[in-house]
């Protein structure tokens, strides 16, 4: 098995190209700090070749912690005898920036005897603006094959496989001694000269970008656009996903009606009805919202807007001890805290990276989404106005998301003023990628795989917890009285802890199990309510909660508790690893639990007054 390395700078379209060449889904983003892991996939049409996608970096002389990881992995891979070829991707619309990095890569490949091919991406953008690049002269100047491609349209991708085959037939040891001992200073000068002589006129593309930036980065219109876009993001979670959620709910109910009566054994029949359809089924209903959330965020990232959002957020984030680069891992935390913590490597300052670690667990991650959706659907009316563009549930979702982010800023602002570290901060430098039309097909594939990964990853935990909860709630009286079951007795023990929030033992048990993973809260409640004799109404958990004695004040308290509490064992493990401090993870867990409980108690009493 041979390996081909794919490397390039951020915003060059590398992840999209990897998707097309392998048929796999990789995170597509237009700003630094997203891809931190090496991805591998079979090269289409060449089953004996693995394509390896390396994290994006601007230079082989690393500055940030993330770039150091990328460069170290790349240099280690060049020592591997199975690596035969290196594909270096450049942005043809920004030739000078790309060429310096490319010349560094060529120099490293010379020293290790590896074949290298340069892929000039964004050719479609040049053609759309009547611009051109002298590729033949560029090939001659750098002594390396240059293939014009468009990762978005697929143009030129077939030539890549042909070039790899040609290089393999010529032999893996390819020597290009013209750059072997050239220092970076000379490479930078060479890149500048080549870009000026052979590259396109960049002022045409810059003028187009500046016109859009004049609106999106304006102190007045940019702020309104930012809040409007963020609001539409959360509003779409309910609006766009409702048909799919209804379809899943109806399908599960239809399957339950058809399958459960066919099971002869009474215990197995109860398990299928109570645990599988009421427990796991209640969780699956909310998966479309995760799909929509991932897709909309992908649209904003791939269009180039998220880099502008990073710039917009830099000034206000500085007030809370953070940096504009903290916005990237914090945004990643909206999908999952784990990649957000990894992405914090891009934050250069150790002090601000620590504060970013503290902010990420408070981001409203997709694991919280099923809990939010369940409680909002149970207590907030599904009424809409302005032709269905605005709804109370969407406003509530926007509010609870905003609350989590607000609490993150309050905590980091307090800690940054209370803790006076002596770390030296690096200047804030951010590349603004050009505005581009997103590729819808890769984004849909990425959203589907994100939802699938979430189901597979969470499903294992939910099934295990559901099984345990069902056994404890079903025995020893075979589900005749849930309050007298083993689960009921355990719940009564912990009930005093959650009674001040107006929660009975059932919700206390669900909260405890959710510390394994937040989304387990929904599956646990589904199982508990299923055991209580809801066989005729197995899937719609919302209706079962509405029929219980849970008050609106308790529902709001639960929302606030889940918005703050650090209820994810995996996040704590990754946090301890990345920060190299298990004490930090434990302190954050304890502090956020106490704060979540106190805030939930406050909201409960305030809501009870009104």
- DSSP per-residue letters across 123-148: HHHHHHTT----HHHHHHHHTS-EEE
Q: Are strands 83-91 and 39-43 parallel, antiparallel or unpaired?
A: unpaired
Q: Assess whether the previous peptide bond of 476 is cis (omega < 30° from 0).
A: yes
Element holding 206 (H helix, E strand): helix 203-216
**For residue 267, is it within any domain?**
no
Residue 27: per-residue pLDDT: 41
CA distances from 559 to 231, 330, 401 (A): 19, 20, 10
Could you tell me which of 515, 517, 609, 608 has the C-alpha nearest to residue 555? Answer: 608
**For residue 325, is it within any domain?**
no
* Tally of structural domains, the chain: 1
Residue 261, burial from CB neighbour count under 10 angstroms (0-12, 13-18, 19+): exposed
Per-residue pLDDT for 572 more than 70? yes
Token digits for 50? 């693995």
Per-residue pLDDT for 204 more than 70? no
In the predicted model, what is the mean pLDDT of residues 341-358? 82
Per-residue pLDDT for 220 more than 80? yes
Cβ(304)–Cβ(496) below 8 Å: no
Q: How many whole angstroms separate alpha carbon 487 and alpha carbon 150?
A: 59
Total residues belonging to the chain: 610
Element holding 588 (H helix, E strand): helix 582-609
pLDDT digits (tens, 9 = 90+) for 186-200: 888 888 888 888 877
Could you tell me which of 129, 105, 128, 134 has the C-alpha nearest to residue 117? Answer: 105
Q: How many whole angstroms separate alpha carbon 519 and alpha carbon 514?
A: 7
Could you tell me which of 430, 447, 429 has the C-alpha nearest to residue 438? Answer: 447
Residue 576: per-residue pLDDT: 85
Whose tokens are 């680069």? That residue is: 325
In the predicted model, what is the mean pLDDT of residues 561-583? 84
Residue 358: per-residue pLDDT: 93
Q: How many whole angstroms separate alpha carbon 411 and alpha carbon 424?
A: 22
Q: How many whole angstroms separate alpha carbon 594 and alpha carbon 278?
A: 31
Residue 75: per-residue pLDDT: 85
Per-residue pLDDT for 411 more than 90? yes
Residue 410: per-residue pLDDT: 92
Residue bearing the bigger pLDDT, 491 or 119: 119
Residue 63: per-residue pLDDT: 67
Place 455 in a pLDDT band, splitting at 50, 70 and 90.
confident
Residue 179 lies in domain: 2-206
Could you tell me which of 332, 328, 319 has the C-alpha nearest to residue 346? Answer: 328
Cβ(226)–Cβ(232) below 8 Å: no
What mean pLDDT, rounded, does the chain reach?
80
Q: How many whole angstroms separate alpha carbon 181 and alpha carbon 176?
A: 11
**For residue 202, is it within any domain?**
yes
Could you tell me which of 144, 203, 212 has the C-alpha nearest to residue 179? Answer: 144
Token digits for 211? 């016109």
Answering whether pTM is above 0.85, one says no
pLDDT digits (tens, 9 = 90+) for 231-276: 777 667 667 777 887 888 788 888 888 888 888 788 888 788 777 7
Whose tokens are 């002869």? That residue is: 264
Residue 383, burial from CB neighbour count under 10 angstroms (0-12, 13-18, 19+): exposed
Per-residue pLDDT for 408 more than 80? yes
DSSP 8-state symbol, 279:
I
**For residue 379, is it within any domain?**
no
Helix (H, G, I), strand (E, B) or coil at 200: coil
pLDDT digits (tens, 9 = 90+) for 7-22: 988 778 887 888 888 8
pLDDT digits (tens, 9 = 90+) for 491-542: 888 889 999 999 988 888 888 888 777 877 887 787 787 766 444 444 577 7
Q: How many whole angstroms separate alpha carbon 578 and alpha carbon 235?
A: 34
**For residue 152, is it within any domain?**
yes
3-state SS of the chain: helix, strand, coil percent to 5? 65, 5, 30
**For residue 8, is it within any domain?**
yes
- Mention every residue, 6+ apart, whose C-beta is less than 8 A from residue 129: 204, 205, 208
**For residue 7, is it within any domain?**
yes
pLDDT digits (tens, 9 = 90+) for 125-140: 888 778 888 888 988 8
pLDDT digits (tens, 9 = 90+) for 361-405: 998 887 788 888 888 888 887 777 766 667 788 788 888 888 988
Place 25 in a pLDDT band, splitting at 50, 70 and 90.
very low
Residue 381: per-residue pLDDT: 79
- Mention every residue, 6+ apart, whose C-beta is less than 8 A from residue 386: none
**For residue 453, is it within any domain?**
no
Query: What CATH number corresponds to the domain at position 97?
Result: 3.40.50.300
Q: How many whole angstroms separate alpha carbon 479 and alpha carbon 483?
A: 9
Helix (H, G, I), strand (E, B) or coil at 184: helix
pLDDT digits (tens, 9 = 90+) for 278-299: 767 766 776 887 788 778 877 8
Place 89 in a pLDDT band, splitting at 50, 70 and 90.
very high
Residue 427: per-residue pLDDT: 64
Place 561 in a pLDDT band, splitting at 50, 70 and 90.
very high
Write phi, then psi, for 177 (nearest 5 degrees). -75, 5
Per-residue pLDDT for 428 more than 80? no
């Amino acid at each position: 098995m041979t390996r081909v390395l794919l490397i390039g700078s951020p915003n060059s379209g590398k992840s999209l190209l990897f998707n097309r060449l392998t048929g796999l889904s990789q995170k597509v983003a237009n700003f630094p700090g997203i891809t931190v892991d090496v991805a591998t996939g079979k090269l289409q049409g060449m089953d004996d070749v693995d394509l390896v996608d390396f994290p994006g970096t601007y230079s082989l002389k690393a500055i940030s912690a993330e770039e150091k990881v990328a460069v170290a992995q790349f240099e280690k891979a060049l020592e591997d005898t199975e690596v035969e070829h290196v594909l270096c991707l450049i942005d043809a619309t920004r030739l000078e920036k790309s060429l310096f990095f490319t010349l560094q890569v060529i120099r490293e490949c010379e020293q290790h005897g590896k074949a290298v091919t340069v892929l000039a991406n964004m050719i479609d953008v040049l053609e759309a603006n009547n611009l051109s690049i002298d590729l033949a002269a560029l090939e001659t100047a750098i002594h390396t094959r240059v293939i014009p491609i468009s990762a978005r349209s697929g143009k030129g991708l077939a030539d890549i496989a042909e070039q790899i085959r040609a290089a393999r037939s010529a032999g893996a040891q390819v020597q290009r001694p013209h750059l072997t001992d050239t220092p970076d200073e000379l490479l930078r000068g060479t890149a500048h000269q080549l870009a000026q002589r052979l590259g396109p006129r960049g002022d045409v593309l810059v003028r187009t970008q500046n016109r859009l930036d004049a609106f999106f980065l304006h102190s007045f219109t940019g702020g309104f656009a930012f809040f409007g876009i963020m609001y539409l993001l959360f509003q779409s979670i309910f609006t766009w996903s409702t048909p799919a959620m209804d379809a899943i709910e109806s399908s599960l109910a239809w399957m339950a009606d058809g399958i459960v009566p066919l099971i002869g054994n009474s215990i197995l029949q109860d398990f299928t009805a109570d645990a599988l359809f009421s427990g796991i089924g209640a969780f699956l209903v909310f998966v479309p919202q995760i799909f929509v959330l991932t897709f909309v965020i992908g649209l904003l990232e791939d269009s180039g807007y998220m880099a502008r959002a990073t710039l917009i957020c830099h000034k206000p984030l500085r007030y809370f001890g953070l940096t504009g680069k903290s916005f990237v891992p914090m945004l990643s935390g909206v999908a999952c805290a784990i990649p957000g913590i990894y992405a914090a490597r891009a934050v250069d300052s150790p002090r601000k990276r620590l504060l970013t670690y503290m902010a990420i667990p408070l981001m409203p991650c997709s694991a919280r989404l099923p809990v939010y959706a369940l409680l909002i659907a149970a207590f907030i009316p599904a009424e809409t106005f302005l032709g269905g563009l605005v709804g109370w549930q969407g406003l509530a979702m926007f509010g609870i998301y905003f609350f989590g982010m607000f609490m993150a800023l309050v905590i980091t602002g307090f800690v940054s003023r209370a803790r006076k570290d002596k770390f030296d901060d690096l200047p804030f430098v951010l590349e603004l990628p050009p505005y581009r039309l997103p590729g819808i097909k890769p984004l849909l594939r990425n959203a589907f795989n994100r939802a699938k990964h979430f189901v597979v990853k969470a499903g294992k935990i939910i099934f295990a917890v559901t099984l345990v909860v069902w056994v404890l709630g079903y025995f020893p009286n075979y589900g005749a009285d849930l309050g007298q079951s083993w689960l009921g007795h355990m719940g009564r023990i912990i009930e005093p802890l959650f009674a001040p929030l107006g929660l009975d033992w059932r919700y206390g048990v669900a909260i405890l199990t959710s510390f394994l993973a937040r989304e387990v809260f929904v599956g646990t409640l589904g199982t508990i309510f299923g055991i209580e004799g809801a066989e005729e109404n197995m899937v719609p958990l919302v209706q079962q909660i509405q029929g219980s004695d849970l008050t609106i004040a308790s529902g709001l308290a639960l929302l606030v508790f889940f918005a703050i509490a650090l209820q994810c064992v995996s996040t704590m493990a990754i946090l301890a690893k990345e920060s190299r401090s298990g004490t930090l993870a434990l302190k954050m867990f304890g502090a956020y639990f106490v704060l979540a409980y106190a805030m939930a108690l406050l909201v409960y009493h305030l809501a009870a007054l009104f």
